[in-house]
Amino acid sequence: MKVIIDDKEFEAEYGEYILDVARRNGIHIPTLCHSDAVPGQGSCRLCIVEVYERGKNKVVVSCLYPITGEIKVYTNSEKIHRMRRNIIRLLAARAPGSEYIKKLKEEYGIPEETRFKVDEKEKCVLCGLCVKACEKLGSMAISTVNRGATKKVAPPFEEPPVDCIGCTSCAHVCPTGAIEVREYEGKRVIWNRTFELLKCTSCGRYFITREQYEYMKNRHGIDMKELLCDRCRQKSTAEKLVSLYKKLLVKKTLFQCYRLQKD
């Protein structure tokens, strides 16, 4: 079916999201909470567009609005631009510490905040990707807590999370670099929990936590006699890599996430 975006006509499939069609055709719509690995958030609202459908005009989020009829889309109308600036201003006032947000702020020419009280250190914009990623990978160690203005992401009781395996998927999927990961002397610290790291059997580099390894072994029955880090794994024989990789991909293991993070 046809869809008109910014006065140009494009082909779309029934039910396809506006954002996907726009991206395919090189139209840039800014996003924050959107990730192909963990879709369906619709929370940051950065990707709003104006839609004209059946004589009506509305503001929708392009990442989740399915094209099911003839529509005209404006991705950067005056109104959208104004509101998107406001959203970025709000995000910047919340999380001034994030480099990504700083860049967006510059891009949209938003002046330094003088009206709102800001917390210079905060980086989290509460997009929810970390929670979604953790949920998808199966450990569900963190969640959103509280609600409204006091909402945040935290482990249960705000203590080092018992269910965490230290895989760092949350940190990698985070668009604003808000989740801190520290590594030193064979240890990894995330969410205030310290994990012991295991070495790659090939290059000897620390790369995986014991819990991560146990998790994959128990949950997916993968026995990894050869513990290979990402780099060594790629160097490994092509056939082995492909088959292992496929297997891992299907079973949604942690490696899938590593791969996604790199994308």
Partner 1 sequence: MHEKPGEGILKVKSILEKYPKERRYLLAILQDIQKTYNYLPREALNEVRDYLGIPLSSLYSMATFYKALSLKPKGRYVIKVCDGTACHIRGSLDIVEEIKKQLSISPGEVTKDGKFSLETVNCLGSCALAPVMVINDKYYGNLKPAMVKDILESTGD
Partner 2 sequence: MNGMVQVPRRTVLVCCGTGCLANNSMEIYKKLKDKAAELESGFPVIPVLKATGCNGLCERGPIVQVLPDDIFYCKVSVSDVDEIFERTILKGDVIERLLYLDASSGKRVRSFKESEFYKKQFKIALRNIGQIDPSCIDDYIERGGYEALKKALFEMSPEQVISEIERSGLRGRGGAGFPTGYKWRQCSKTNDFPKYVVCNGDEGDPGAFMDRSIMEGDPHSVIEGMIIGAYAVGAEKGFIYIRDEYSLAVRNVSKAIEDAYIRGYLGRDIIGSGFSLDIEVVRGGGAFVCGESTALMASIEGRVGEPRVKYIRSTEKGLWGKPTVLNNVETWANVPVIITRGVEWFSSIGTEKSKGTKVFSLVGKVKNTGLIEVPMGMTLREIIFGIGGGIAGSGKFKAVQTGGPSGGCIPEALLDLPVDFDSLSDAGSMMGSGGMIVMDDRTCMVEVARYYLKFLSEESCGKCTPCREGIRRMLEVLEDICAGEGREEDIELLLELSETVKEASLCGLGKTAPNPVLTTIKYFESEYLAHIKEKRCPAGVCKKLTSYRINADLCRGCGLCAKRCPAGAISGKQGKIYEIDQGICTVCGTCREVCRFGAVEVAGRATE
171: number of Cβ within 10 Å: 17
144 interacts with partner 1 by CB under 8 A: yes
- Site string (159-198) toward partner 1, x via CB under 8 A: --xxx-----------------------------------
Distance CA(173)–CA(157), nearest Å, equals: 23
Apex 227 CA angle, 223 and 228, nearest 5: 130
Which residues would be at the binding site for partner 2 (CB under 8 A)?
A: 42-46, 48, 59-61, 64-66, 79, 82-83, 86-87, 90-91, 93-94, 115-117, 125-126, 128, 144, 146-151
Q: Least CB distance from residue 134 to partner 1, whole Å?
A: 8
Element (H, E) at 69: none
Q: Least CB distance from residue 133 to partner 2, whole Å?
A: 16
Q: Which stretch binds partner 1 (CB under 8 A): 4-12, 48-56, 138-146, 219-227?
A: 138-146
Q: Which stretch binds partner 1 (CB under 8 A): 44-52, 53-61, 149-157, 167-175?
A: 149-157
Q: Which stretch binds partner 1 (CB under 8 A): 24-32, 42-50, 140-148, 221-229?
A: 140-148
Question: Which listed residue (18, 29, 73, 141) binds partner 1 by CB under 8 A?
Answer: 141
Beta strands in the chain (DSSP E): 2-5, 8-11, 48-53, 56-61, 71-74, 143-145, 152-154, 181-184, 187-190, 193-199, 206-209
Q: Which stretch binds partner 1 (CB under 8 A): 105-113, 146-154, 182-190, 232-240?
A: 146-154
Distance CA(61)–CA(47), nearest Å, equals: 6
CA nearest 165: which of 200, 141, 186, 183? 141
Distance CA(62)–CA(24), nearest Å, equals: 13
Question: Which listed residue (86, 140, 184, 217) binds partner 1 by CB under 8 A?
Answer: 140
125 binds, among partner 1, partner 2, none (CB under 5 to 8 A by kind): partner 2
Question: Which listed residue (143, 202, 236, 261) binds partner 1 by CB under 8 A?
Answer: 143
201 interacts with partner 1 by CB under 8 A: no
Q: Considering beta carbons, is residue 6 or 135 the nearer one to partner 1?
A: 135
Distance CA(115)–CA(5), nearest Å, equals: 36
Distance CA(45)–CA(175), nearest Å, equals: 14
Q: Considering beta carbons, is residue 40 or 156 the nearer one to partner 1?
A: 156
Question: Which listed residue (18, 130, 142, 197) binds partner 1 by CB under 8 A?
Answer: 142
CA nearest 19: which of 50, 51, 64, 58? 64
Q: Which residues of 172-200 are buried (b: 16+ CB within 10 A; e: fewer)?
A: bbbbbebbeeeeeeeebebbebebebbeb
Q: For 198, phi and psi rounded to 5 degrees?
A: -105, 155
Given the rule CB under 8 A, which residues bind partner 1?
A: 134, 139-147, 154-157, 161-163
